[in-house]
Structure 1
Amino acid sequence: MRRQFPRPSLGGGLDDPGDLRQQGEPMAVTVQTVFVADGTLLGARLSPALASAVLYYLREQQASVALEELRRFAALVELEGDQMPAMLRFPWDLIGHCGEQIVRDLPLFSARLPNVQGDDPQLVTRGRHVYIAESARLDGPIVLDARDGPVIIDEGAQIEPFSFIQGPAYIGPNSLIASARIRGETSIGPTCRIGGEVEASIVQGFSNKHHDGFLGHSWLGEWVNIGAMTTNSDLKNNYGSVRIVLEGLGQLDSGVLKLGCFLADHVKLGIGLHLNGGTVIGTGSNIFGIHSAPKTIPPFTWGGDVFREYRIESMIDVARKVMARRKRSLSPEYEALLRAVLVSRAPVVAIGSIHASRRARRNNAGVRPRSQPCATSPSARPCSQKRSPAAGGSM
């Protein structure tokens, strides 16, 4: 069956570890070098004096002068072929390159982590590139499938029974995989708790999706908590490319068939919430008590039936409690950054206006509402029915 329907292999195959080490070799870069590809400036290594001059002109919105300075004093290097780096223009590009980057990073992990072959009947390994830290704890039965990419389990990670991990996949230090299905091209950061099914996603450190539910082709920031049975869609029923709204750019066609959600730092989602493909939820938002979330939610949004601004003092108080549970503290600099996000965010009232316009269209079409809905109710529940936040689970 595998001969007839071979799975694609990232990085040109995984038969020889030497092949992997040849990928992503660092280039010898001299000072005063500018890298371009197809006319696009990718990066530069400059002396402090030239870098200061270029930054000055850029701050003064004199890009043409900055470019002229680079042409005069720096060598231009055109990158092509194997030299081309991953081009990350949009957030979903991170997801698209995740699996490939795990393959490229394998030499860094294989240099310090033991290679494990499955002679334990409780630990089934497929493929040669399974690397497990000695301090990791694995309780079988477990299947680690490295045929399509490496499986890397870092220091102190814990894999509970009946877990399936398909490579390329990385499980960060001290993270817990709770009898979950982790499909390929997934990277889990440090001190996370992951259950249910996860596919082709990036989860930053200290985030939890401990219970059943699907997370696919998505990106989670730090300190995110997803309640039980909350699930995202990553594929449209018409198999069209997913559209997404980005701040400052408006609605964009991602150009990709599969795209899930983007949850910023300290987002909290209640139980049983459904997220459409291309959903973006801003920093610090706490969403609960509704069936389907809007696709775009500004930072510091609180509620479900009715959306309000999440009071910054309350949000920071919760953040301190959550971080203390992981023996971390909220630094003054981090707190200042959160407050800066609050100042710069879009108004929460924008969410209410979207749902109000939907209700207006429905009413104009002759659909009679069940009762007078709340002012910003996405599900048109009567105002007399109030909800409290549903427990999200395990943060």
Structure 2
Amino acid sequence: MKTWEVKELYTLSETQAAPLLESVTYPWEALPKIHDFILELGETLSGEEYEKRGEDIWIARSAKVAPTASITGPCIIGKDAEVRHCAFIRGNALVGEGAVVGNSTELKNVILFNKVQVPHYNYVGDSILGYKAHMGAGSITSNVKSDKLLVKVHTPEGDIETGIKKFGAMLGDEVEVGCGSVLNPGTVIGPHTNIYPLSSVRGVVPAHSIYKKQGEVAKKR
């Protein structure tokens, strides 16, 4: 089982981005395609269910968007989603149904599956968060290496060259990230895994596990 493949990470029925993710093997291969996918998808959305606001921004009529939120297209905000005070959505963002984008949270080039929560002071860039994934307050995805080199994914089977300079994290379904954690470039976290608060995470973290610190990962019982 390769935790870092799309089919192992995500329940594709829980995102409008299913056609995009079905077209790739590794989820990060979808990152350069998010922009065009949103533009194509937006034009197909029902006018009864979605309102087009501004250029290339589609917001579900049932979504709640704070007047202080800043949204740049292309962007889709799904049904019953909530975008809170001073959220900053910088474009290329697909926010799933029932998702929460919290106060002062910043999004850029992301797919948030249905019911994802990034509710308090989060930065999520060049990342894909699976169904019901949750990032604790102040946790972020770091999407550029300090040496500015292309990101590699460190797997148990060896490194995978992504060819991408900006790549944050891939979170599987129902991942829980503790408050104040940093997910380093190229992080992949398997579904149903918990990350301890204040963690610095890199590489692949197995599914159904508890990440306590680098080198100390326990299997859930």
Question: Per the shorter chain, which TM-score range?
Answer: 0.7 to 0.9
Runs of 4+ in 1 over 6 A off after TM superposition: none
**Offset at 1:294?**
3.4
Q: CA RMSD in A?
A: 2.1
CA 114–273 in structure 1, closer or farther in 2 if over 3 Å, else same: closer
Matched, 1:310 2:220: yes
**Offset at 1:87?**
6.1
Could you tell me which of 151, 173, 192 is aligned with 2:99? 192
Matched, 1:238 2:165: no
Matched, 1:228 2:137: yes
CA 303–246 in structure 1, closer or farther in 2 if over 3 Å, else same: closer
Q: TM-score, normalised by structure 1?
A: 0.47
For residue 192 of structure 2, what is the aligned residue in structure 1? 284
| Structure 2 gap segments, 5+ residues each | 1-21
**Whole-angstrom CA distance in 2 between matches of 1:193 and 1:87:** 27
Could you tell me which of 151, 155, 159 is aligned with 2:61? 155
**Whole-angstrom CA distance in 1 between matches of 2:24 and 2:181:** 30
For residue 169 of structure 1, what is the aligned residue in structure 2? 75
Larger relative contact order (Cα-Cα within 8 Å, sequence gap ≥ 6) = 2
Matched, 1:208 2:117: yes
Question: Which has the larger helix fraction?
Answer: 1
Q: Which AA in structure 2 matches 1:284?
A: H
Could you tell me which of 95, 98, 110 is aligned with 2:31? 95
Contact 1:207 1:225 in 2 (8 A): yes
Could you tell me which of 252, 255, 279 is aligned with 2:163? 255
Contact 2:50 2:61 in 1 (8 A): no
- Encode CA deviations 1:131-188: one digit per residue, 9 max, x unaligned: 16xxxxxxxxxxx5x2xxx101013101113101110001010000112101111101
Q: Which AA in structure 2 matches 1:293?
A: V
In the comparison of the two structures, how many residue pairs are matched? 195
Q: TM-score, normalised by structure 2?
A: 0.81
| Structure 1 gap segments, 5+ residues each | 1-85, 116-130, 133-143, 312-395
Specify the structure having the higher radius of gyration (Cα). Answer: 1
**Whole-angstrom CA distance in 1 between matches of 2:211 and 2:43:** 46
Identity %: 26
Contact 2:59 2:78 in 1 (8 A): yes
Question: Which has the larger strand fraction?
Answer: 2
